[in-house]
Amino acid sequence: MHIQCLQVGEIGTNCYLVRDEASHEAAVIDPGGEPERIIAALEKTGCVPGAVFLTHGHYDHTGGVEGLMAKWPEMPVYLNSRDFPGDAPYLRRLFPPIPGTRNYGEGDVFTVGGLKVSVMETPGHSEGSVTLRCGDVLFCGDTLFAGSCGRTDFPGGDIAKILASLKRLGELEGDLTVYPGHMEPSTLERERRTNPYLRRALAGGACL
C-alpha cells in the first residue's frame, strides 16, 4: 500500500490516493477539488481509481468528484446517506448534491485491488461522518485531527456524538497511523497522549 496526499481546493483539504501497486488500482479518499491535479497524479503512477470514498459530504471534501466521474463514469462513489443534501439552499451549499453517489456505513468492507477498506461510522462533525480503515491506517476525515478534532457548529454537528466517536477511535487497539482531512498526519498513540479532545473523550468528558 502506498499513500499519496494532495492538498486540494480552496482550504487545502487532504485528498488521499491509496494505491495497490500490484494491481495498479487506487482508492481515492476525499477529492475535495482540483480534479485535474488528482487525475494527473493518478495517471503519473499508472494506477486507475477503483472507487472514491468520502469521509463526509461537506463541499471541501467532495468538490472534485464530478471531474473524476467525468473521466471515469463507471467508478463508484461512496458517501453515508446521512450527509445527502436536504432541500434547504444553505444545506445544498454545505452538502452539494453528487448524482450517482452510493450509500455506505458501519461495517461495510470494500476491496480495491489488494486493498481492504472498512467503514466505521464516526458522527459528530456531521451526521454522516465516517472513518475508513485500511490495514493499520485510519482516514478520519474531519473527526480527528493532530492535536484537535472537527468543529461541531455546522448543521448536523453534535458535540456529544463527536466525543463518542473520538472515544471509539481512541479505544482501538494498537498505534495506528492517523491521516486527517486537514493538516498533518499523526499516530493514535500520540493523540491519546497529547490531544486534549481525545483525552477528554476517553475520560468520559461530556462537553468540549
C-alpha cell at 37: 491535479
Q: Give the confidence band of 161 by pLDDT, cuts at 50, 70, 90.
A: very high
**CB atoms inside a 10 Å sphere around CB 169:** 25
Residue 208 pLDDT > 60: no
Taking the C-alpha atoms of residue 54 and residue 130, their distance in angstroms, rounded to an integer, is 8
Taking the C-alpha atoms of residue 87 and residue 28, their distance in angstroms, rounded to an integer, is 28
Residue tagged 491519546 (cell numbers): 192
What is the phi/psi pair of residue 153, to 5°? -100, 5
Q: Give the confidence band of 207 by pLDDT, cuts at 50, 70, 90.
A: low
Question: What is the tens place of the pLDDT at every residue in 63-118?
Answer: 999 999 999 999 999 999 999 877 667 788 899 999 899 999 999 999 999 999 99
pLDDT at 84: 87
Percent of the chain beyond pLDDT 90?
Answer: 91
* Rg from Cα positions in the chain: 16
Taking the C-alpha atoms of residue 164 and residue 9, their distance in angstroms, rounded to an integer, is 29
E strand intervals along the chain: 2-8, 13-20, 25-29, 48-53, 77-78, 109-112, 115-121, 130-134, 137-141, 144-145, 148-149, 177-180, 186-187
Residue 128 pLDDT > 80: yes
